[in-house]
Structure 1
Amino acid sequence: MGDSASRSRVSYPVFQDVNHMVIFGFGFFLTFLKRYGFSSTGFNLLIIVLGVQCSVLIEDLLIFLLQREDENSLKRITNAVVSMTAVVISTGALLGKTNPVQLILMTVVEIIVFHMSRWINETFLQVPDNLSMTHVHLFGAYFGLAVSSRFSEPLPRSEKNASTPKSDLLSMLGTLFLWVFWPSFNSVLAVDKSKAIYNTYFALAVSAVTAFLLSVLTTKDGKFRMTHIQSAVLAGGVTVGYAGHGIKYPWIAMILGLLASVISILGSYCLQRCLNPALKIHDSSGVHFTFGLPGVLGALAQVVLTVINNWTNSARQGHLVTVHIGAFCLTVSVALITGFITGLILNLKLFKTIPVSKYFEDQLYWEFPHLAVGF
């Protein structure tokens, strides 16, 4: 009993870090729209607390049905909070286009499907529990993009689909929360926690420096662009999350952070000008090049590092590479297929889809006393 309590006391600060990151970090990260700040932070809290409860109930059901060993309660709720990252990322792709009922339904469906995807990876591909959780960014990004493909695009040059200096500042505050707590997020389920923290910090540091450099080089007037900084400084943390616990030298993490930041910024140009218009997908907060593409790079880096680390053992090397590639393909496929189906369901008349003219508007859901007559 004493040992269990001791472990809980040691683990609680890490749980707090992850909780702060998901609630404060993502809550403020999504406040860049000038008329959607109340909804960004408020709905973020709603879906997180709802999703954590659903996730814990699903874990209890799996323990009962599969006769699994019951885990420490603090670890279970930490797993639930980490799992909710997928839903919050997906919400970013749909920001301003869904009503609360649609968000709640999407949260419940996505958390169930994410657990199903993890169960398949762990059961049939023998992926360890801590590694199956690293696909949370990939799953969230591509599930959200698939759902978003079923929603109408906003009106071109919509006045509400824009930011202000104040909303950008709040969003940057969220970015800073995410940046500071990301090492805890990547290490919370890792076997070698110190190595995961070490490598994550260096990847984040290099991606931040690269983001500032590329922002200056890619703007016409040579000034920093806030959208570049908000997205690219986190890319290194997403990428190194896949293999951070197994990287032996910090320079490898630095290279991954550099590549992640480059892919994030240059990918945003390519996707916004070429891919998104062709596929008719509107990605409200750019989750594809903030989490999706860096996640793909991280999965690829995991395969390359596995080949290098097992160079002398070809049988083990082939098995591990097959497992990693299979887990990546399965995760993305499940996310895209179920996301597309979820998008179709959310657009049923039953759920009263918001008209395009009412996108990105807080006043549909929140009271604004200063706008009342006679105030």
Structure 2
Amino acid sequence: MPSKYRNFRNSVPWLIFFLEVVFIILFYFLFSDGDTSGSKISYPAFQDVNQMMIFGLGFFLAFLKRYGFSSVGFNLLIIVLGVQWSVLTEAVFQSTKEDDLTSITKAAVSMTAVVISSSAVLGKANPIQLIVMTVVEITAFRLSRWINTTFLKVGDSASMMHVHLFGAFFGLAVSLCFSKPSPNSEKEASTQKSDLLSILGTLFLWVFWPSFNSVLAVEKKNTIIYNTYFALAVSAVTAFALSVLTTKDGKLRMTDICNATLAGGVAVGYTAHSIPYPWIAMILGLLASVITILGSHRLQRCLNPVPKVHDGVYYTFGLPGVLGALAHVILLVIKSWTDLPSQAYLIMIDFSTFCLTISVALMSGFITGPILNLNLLKTVPVSKYYEDQFYWEFPHLAVGF
């Protein structure tokens, strides 16, 4: 009887080659004028974002003991494919042509949503599924931004900062359609080496996060960098303190440090430009870190059996993102308190923006999940989840990996 799973060698390479041919043809027709105009974004700023995506997020997701090669390698694969597709979708939706560096920077920032979503199905989604998810999610995220900028009149760079919200809730919806391995699977555990790689990725992300939040901003770049740094600093300090207080033996927990250290950067991403004083950013960083760590200790026990998500995508990126969006609305209310009736429309627009982002993410995720689980896209059974050996040449796996 033929297997219901596709052969990895006979499917993945040909899908990649097919997409590359399509991308090259589309680039030929859409970008054939040879425009090399100057950019408002400097190359070092783009380089910060690029290193954050490749090194930071790649190593950050390498926490599974038998899935390190795949975490880093597949992260690179979907990013380089996704950036090409994102540039193409941006060219279709954008009414005016942007310079080359701005276009590729926006594409790299957009890919953050896909990497966050992929962490929700880490070890379970094969490369074919990840590639299909990348194409669909980038399209859905750009559609969400187009609605926000066209109908709600949100700034283009501001709409991009909902990337964490979109990625978290899209991934949460997609994960519902993936089977859950046997409880307490030892393959879902981490080791000293995998935790070390994960904290290395966290350090890359922490260092470059101010550049990420400010790279597309037209005004107040220094304010965004300033507020982002202090939010990150406080969330890191709070992570160390709460980790000791919430563990049974009173010791630091590496997972807490990896996740909560970055929560402040997520929380201030959308509102950093509008924060007038650094102590407000510091409060946001503290609250974001508290939400992340309490979520990992409390919410995971309640929610994990239902969404089938084995890592903290919804409380590392989702909940701090919601906190930041609500903080932006609250700050706008406080700023307009003396003239609240006339500013009510603008406040509702801001509230509607992040509600719309979450709604589009969930709806597109619920549609994508069943598509990814079609037999046409499956290459591995549930018993082979979280294993590098199925995809990579790994001769030393049997000697203590």
Is the shorter-chain TM-score for this pair beyond 0.5, marking a shared fold? yes
Match of 1:210 in 2: 238
Aligned pairs, how many?
362
Q: Quick one: distance in 2 between partners of 1:135 and 1:214?
A: 27
Matches for 1:65-214 after TM superposition, within 5 Å: 68-190=95-217, 191-214=219-242
Aligned residue in 1 for 2:257: 229
CA distance in 1, matches of 2:366, 2:146: 21
CA deviation profile, 1:204-240 (whole Å, cap 9, x unmatched):
0000000000000001111000000000000000001
Contact 2:389 2:397 in 1 (8 A): no
Is the counterpart of residue 35 in structure 1 residue 66 in structure 2? yes
Match of 2:345 in 1: 319
Equivalent of 1:260 in 273, 279, 288: 288
CA distance in structure 2 between the partners assigned to 1:84 and 1:340 by the alignment: 19
1:295 maps to: 321
Local SS of the residue matching 2:161: helix
User: Which residue number corresponds to residue 87 of structure 2?
Assistant: 56
> Which runs of 5 or more structure 1 residues have no equivalent in the other structure?
none
Instruction: Measure how far apart 1:325 and its partner are.
Output: 1.1
| Aligned residue runs from structure 1 range 323-334, under 5 A | 323-334=349-360
Shift of 1:275: 2.4
- CA RMSD, aligned part only? 1.5
Counterpart in the other structure of 2:334: 308
Displacement, 1:316?
Answer: 4.7
Report the AA paired with residue 356 of structure 2.
L
1:281 Cα offset (Å): 1.4
Percent identical pairs in the alignment equals 71
Secondary structure in 2 matching 1:155: coil
Q: Which has the higher helix share?
A: 1
Deviation at 1:368, TM superposition (A): 1.6
**Contact 1:153–1:281, Cα closer than 8 Å, also in 2:** no
Change in 2 beyond 3 A, CA 1:247/1:21: same
Rounded to whole Å, the distance in 1 between the matches of 2:49 and 2:339 is: 37
Partner of 1:364: 390
The structural deviation recorded for 1:371 is: 6.0
Please tell me whether residue 351 in structure 1 is matched to residue 382 in structure 2.
no
Aligned to 2:276: 248
Distance apart, 1:315 and its partner CA? 4.5
Q: Is the 8 A contact 1:18 1:184 kept in 2?
A: yes
Unaligned runs of 5+ in 2: 1-35
Hey, what's the Cα distance between the residues in 2 that align with 1:157 and 1:332? 31
Distance in 2, matches of 1:327 and 1:301, equals 13
Q: What whole-Å deviation, never above 9, does each CA across 1:265-287 have from its counterpart, x for those lacking one?
A: 1122232111232xx21223311
* Alpha-carbon contact 1:208-1:234 (below 8 Å) kept: yes
Tell me the TM-score normalized by structure 2.
0.88
- Aligned residue for 2:216, secondary structure, equals coil
Give the corresponding residue for 2:301: 273
SS of structure 1 residue aligned to 2:368 = helix
Task: Name the residue aligned to 2:312.
Answer: 286
Displacement of 1:352: 1.7
Matched residue of 1:33: which SS? Answer: coil
